[in-house]
Structure 1
Amino acid sequence: MMLDFERSGAAHLFVSEEQMWTPKPTVARFFKRFVPHFDVHVIAYVRRQDLFVEGLYSQHIRLSHYRDIPAITDFWKDPRVKGALDYHRVLTLLADVGLNVKALEFNTEVKTYGLMNSFLRATGFTDMGELAERRANNSPDMRLLLTMCMLSAGRIEGEFNLLSNGIFRAARRLEQCAVFPTLKHTLGRIERQAIIDSAVESNARLAKDFGIVFPDNRPSEADLPILAPDAAYLLALIGDMALTDSVKFANCCRGYLQTLAGVLPESDADPSDEEIAAMQLKGEEVILDGGSASL
């Protein structure tokens, strides 16, 4: 990379790396070697931790190809994710090795200037004028991602590879028709508040040292997290698929839809994960063997 930069004759080198959000001292040490030779600036876009978790979870689902996906309530408590929520530590590691760190609140910057124009302002390259922006990578509906996770895990019984293309085509048509507003927020009020509370001390240091104060607006949502797709969405997918795929997918979803409708097989065993998710969607109390209540 450095050889290419030297040959180019350019005066500036921009490095964009999403994985720099992890609080790893090795990242800071990598850039430290350039400090004696370059004026190194870090432009860090941060968003409130609960919103970051939801965006990271969506990305994790897709990069993992819908396999072995934990519930979002477990995902954010993973030490690798929870450590990344301490933004002050992440930025301080970079500042302590001599990098010039400037932090910006992502949502405010995007709404006020647009992401590219915000970046140009932060770097001082404003002589390029205002750039027209358009989003090329919109986040998919979380109902679709949760459907694919359940299909991959066998909680909706069916062959993933045979059904996935038809499901994606139907989901795109539903999105184009704006039948279902895109669902991005799945944490629920209780879990969202837990994430925000966990970052209070770090965010106080973030405000003091880097001038970042997050807005306190919250999405409209229920108390409990959304862990599975709702019946209306699944039925809409079934109705919009080609006939053969529609019949196959309807059969795959039958057990889950019966659970949502309250038609449960008689059994003394604890309910399965998909049955628990369906009960949560209905706001029912779930009592597991031994008397412990999950709701």
Structure 2
Amino acid sequence: MALPHDSNETSYLLPPNNEDWGRQTIPDFVYGQKDLMAEGIQWPRNAPGIPDALPQSPFDAALCSAWKQRVELGLFRYRLRELQTQILPGAVGFVAQLNVERGVQRRPPQTIKSVRQAFDPVQFNFNKIRPGEVLFRLHREPDLPGTLLQEDILVVINVSPLEWGHVLLVPEPARQLPQRLLPGALRAGIEAVLLSLHPGFRVGFNSLGGLASVNHLHLHGYYLAHRLPVEQAPSEPLDPGGHLHLLQDLPAPGFLFYTRGPGPDLESLISRITGHQPDQLQV
């Protein structure tokens, strides 16, 4: 089971006195190979609501409890209510949500002039967030396979949430990396999905020019209690091994990458994807 360093139990909650938040050490969420091997995760017959309604992994429990506390402490720009959601008519069945407060109260996006724009420390970045916005740090145990450089990933709240549990996965913010998908960041995103028992936990990346609003490397993660059309779209294999597919019957073209799980297959998949970086990616 995933555990913090040097402890059998941890709390991802902030202390009562906000003056202590900056002095509190960021808790580690440490995970290993066995935490990524859950099987049989399926949508229930009745679509779930918030993640509390379904069995939770240690990752889900840590994220949801810490996120809920930050809501109660008023650290978000607005309090997320139940969103008006509709499945649009038509063959595709798009999921549409109305989130007026995000449109009005979110931080204005940065001006993006190039997909290769350099990091600008003067602009807003994740080194400028309040201490209370950090939930925990994702840390891989040494037993996990892989040749990619180990990176600690901060899990922080998105103060203008799209949905319940909306967080940002930020790889080592002090390195001041621009918003370009790197192998370590992609691996962290895929492993975050594998750490969750909720079928609607999503991780996505949008590039500069692909609606990214902050030029500081990050991925999004949140719970969406609805199946998406891409989950059931047919696909055509493009390579003999069946690792690369072309999605079909969707309004926009897309690729499906398949892997059996953590290990050499996943490392190869990550290298393949980051060698041909898409503007937007969801897993």
TM-score bin (small chain): under 0.3
Identify the structure with the greater helix proportion. 1
Query: Which has the larger Rg?
Result: 1
TM-score by length of 2: 0.24
Identify the structure with the greater strand proportion. 2
TM-score by length of 1: 0.23
